[in-house]
Amino acid sequence: MQNPIMIRGHTDSVPYGDPRAMNNWMLSSGRAEATRRRLLSGGTPEQRFERIEGVADREPLIVKDPADPRNRRVAITLLYRRGIFAK
């Protein structure tokens, strides 16, 4: 069994013109889902995806400048489960 995968989408803090049409929550969730689909099309089994989530601008990489474009990213984490490496 391979490690389960968590995918998290992130955005900067720049708001959209009309938040009813699009907002950072929708964008970050969409980034995470687009990444999941890309990994799936590349052969990653569906059952490996443990969590797919968007966190909007709540966890900036560049804390001192939440509007910095480097805060727009996707994080892919391989999760650990006790006993996964046991023989």
Q: Could you tell me if residue 84 is inside a domain?
A: no
Whole-angstrom distance, CA of residue 56 vs CA of residue 22: 12
Give the count of domains, the chain.
Answer: 1
CATH of the domain at 45: 3.30.1330.60
> To 5 degrees, how large is the angle CA 51–CA 46–CA 78?
45
pLDDT in tens, the chain (87 residues): 689 999 999 999 999 888 889 999 999 999 999 999 999 999 999 999 999 999 999 999 999 999 999 999 999 999 987 665 555
Q: Could you tell me if residue 65 is inside a domain?
A: yes
Q: Could you tell me if residue 85 is inside a domain?
A: no
User: Domain limits at 73?
Assistant: 5-78
Whole-angstrom distance, CA of residue 72 vs CA of residue 53: 14
The answer to whether 32 touches 5, Cβ cutoff 8 Å, is no
pLDDT at 13: 97
The answer to whether 54 touches 31, Cβ cutoff 8 Å, is yes
Q: Could you tell me if residue 55 is inside a domain?
A: yes
